[in-house]
Chains A and B, each alone.
Chain A
Amino acid sequence: MTSEPFGDLIDRCRAAEEDLVRRWRADVAASLRGRISEIELDKELREILDAVLSSMSAADGADTRSSAYGEVRALLVDLSRGRALQGFSPRETAISVFALKKAVRESVGVGPEFTAFSDVIDELGLFTFETYTKAREEVISNQAEQLLELATPVVKLWQGVVALPLVGTLDSARAQVVMEKLLQTLVDTGSEYAIIDITGVPAVDTQVAQHLLKTIVAARLMGAECIISGIRPQIAQTIVALGIEFGDIATKATLADALLLALGRIGVDVTAEMSKRGL
């Protein structure tokens, strides 16, 4: 049984299936240059071909968004996501679908119903491309998140004192993540003092300075104090030039001074601690 728009094309494809798959696979394999095994590719393409042909005979027309094409779409989502994760280019991914046209043309021949068939493949190709892009965007945003996590170590210096050594350029997004993590660490470790060391930060802009200030105010609302250490001369100039009020926020030249200040406020006797630990 064949449905109207595709004439007997589907039946002829079924009859020539072996030859069709061989040609299709050869084209796709050439573009992938052996990065996917022939056996794997063969299985993948056969599944897709079977689903495409079944969908075409089940569907009333070439609307690839209809439920008849559900299985094809699911297979193509798998294919394009897989290709995206393995780092294949958009072209290498889309050719897996588009090359089917050439294979059909060469193996079954071009009849009047080829146009309808071609339209379906075009639609499916575009769908593949869209899914591929989505998957890539997900990969990128995940990586960005992981990088942010890596770049924000909050370390415990003493019972009740944590430090956040910041290195590199702080943009607004990173500043936000860093500050949130710092505040959460205060709760998790029950620390009343946080030292934000910006020795490794080359410059700050207004937004970042504002983030810093907001974090300090937020920490106070939670019952903790922040000390900023390692402010470079240029950054001090920026802060003053921008008219940002640091008010009664404690600042120290070095991380060591900041730690001593925090220890003093907690009431730690450093000499006694040293002899207690045999240092």
Chain B
Amino acid sequence: MERLPILKIGQMLLVSIQVDLRDDMVVALQEDLADRIVETGARGVVIDITALDIVDSFTGRMLATMAALSRVLDADTVVVGMRPAVAITLVELGLSLDGIKTALDVERGMRLLSLAGGSAR
């Protein structure tokens, strides 16, 4: 199974999802991310979903779990690049992803993380 790459940039980790997500890849990402946060001592995680044309409840739950997971490991998570149609659909679906930080793009996401000083606000 292909795994999603997790890049380390300074004190942050960047996950840029560029493929059609299969559920097993999502589960694997969750495990890999926790490992990498501990391994690198990263203080922030940026998850880039610009390329995702849908986010369903399973993927939504994955995003929420990853945010909660990294918070426990003292890292902050920002989800960036959600498309308008995806956002509208998620709201209709009933997912508001409370507690997840968001930004328009990777650059703004990283700025948000450095402003927060790497710890949860």
A touches B (Cβ under 8 A): yes
Q: Which residues of A contact B (CB under 8 A)?
A: 179-180, 183-184, 186-187, 190-192, 214-215, 217-224
Question: What 0/1 pattern do residues 93 to 121 of B give for CB contact below 8 A with A?
Answer: 00011000011110011000000000000
Classify chain B's interface size. Answer: 20 to 34
B67 beta carbon closer than 8 Å to chain A: no
**Chain A contacts for B87, CB-based, 8 A:** 183, 218-219, 221-222
- The distance in angstroms between the C-alpha atoms of A184 and B87, with both chains bound, is 11
Q: Which residue of A lies closest to B112 (CB)?
A: A223
Contact assessment for A180 and B104 in the assembled complex, using a CB-CB cutoff below 8 Å: no
B20 beta carbon closer than 8 Å to chain A: no
Contact assessment for B84 and A223 in the assembled complex, using a CB-CB cutoff below 8 Å: no
**Chain B contacts for A219, CB-based, 8 A:** 87
Rank and list the top 6 A-B pairs by shortest CB-CB distance, nearest first: A183-B84, A218-B87, A223-B103, A223-B102, A221-B87, A223-B104
Chain B nearest CB: distance from A266 CB in Å? 12
B1 beta carbon closer than 8 Å to chain A: no
Contact assessment for A180 and B88 in the assembled complex, using a CB-CB cutoff below 8 Å: yes
Contact assessment for B96 and A221 in the assembled complex, using a CB-CB cutoff below 8 Å: yes
- New A-B contacts (13) at CB < 8 Å, excluding given A219-B87, A221-B87, A224-B104: A179-B88, A180-B85, A180-B88, A192-B104, A214-B88, A217-B91, A218-B84, A220-B102, A221-B96, A221-B102, A222-B83, A223-B80, A223-B82
Q: Which residues of B contact A (CB under 8 A)?
A: 79-80, 82-88, 90-92, 96-97, 102-105, 108-109
Most buried by B among A191, A214, A220, A224: A220
**Chain B contacts for A187, CB-based, 8 A:** 83-84, 104
- The distance in angstroms between the C-alpha atoms of A250 and B106, with both chains bound, is 25
- The distance in angstroms between the C-alpha atoms of A191 and B83, with both chains bound, is 14
Chain A nearest CB: distance from B109 CB in Å? 8
**Chain B contacts for A180, CB-based, 8 A:** 84-85, 88
**Chain A contacts for B97, CB-based, 8 A:** 221
Contact assessment for B88 and A190 in the assembled complex, using a CB-CB cutoff below 8 Å: no
Contact assessment for B102 and A190 in the assembled complex, using a CB-CB cutoff below 8 Å: no
Q: Which residue of A lies closest to B78 (CB)?
A: A223
- The distance in angstroms between the C-alpha atoms of A187 and B50, with both chains bound, is 11
Contact assessment for A221 and B82 in the assembled complex, using a CB-CB cutoff below 8 Å: yes
Contact assessment for B88 and A218 in the assembled complex, using a CB-CB cutoff below 8 Å: yes
- The distance in angstroms between the C-alpha atoms of A180 and B85, with both chains bound, is 8
A-B contact pairs, 15 of them (CB 8 A): A183-B87, A183-B88, A191-B104, A218-B84, A218-B90, A218-B91, A219-B87, A220-B102, A221-B82, A221-B91, A221-B102, A222-B82, A222-B87, A222-B104, A223-B105
Chain A nearest CB: distance from B48 CB in Å? 12
Contact assessment for A222 and B91 in the assembled complex, using a CB-CB cutoff below 8 Å: no
Most buried by B among A180, A214, A218, A224: A218
- The distance in angstroms between the C-alpha atoms of A220 and B105, with both chains bound, is 13
- The distance in angstroms between the C-alpha atoms of A219 and B96, with both chains bound, is 11
Contact assessment for A223 and B108 in the assembled complex, using a CB-CB cutoff below 8 Å: yes
Chain B nearest CB: distance from A193 CB in Å? 11
**Chain B contacts for A218, CB-based, 8 A:** 84, 87-88, 90-91
- The distance in angstroms between the C-alpha atoms of A218 and B102, with both chains bound, is 11
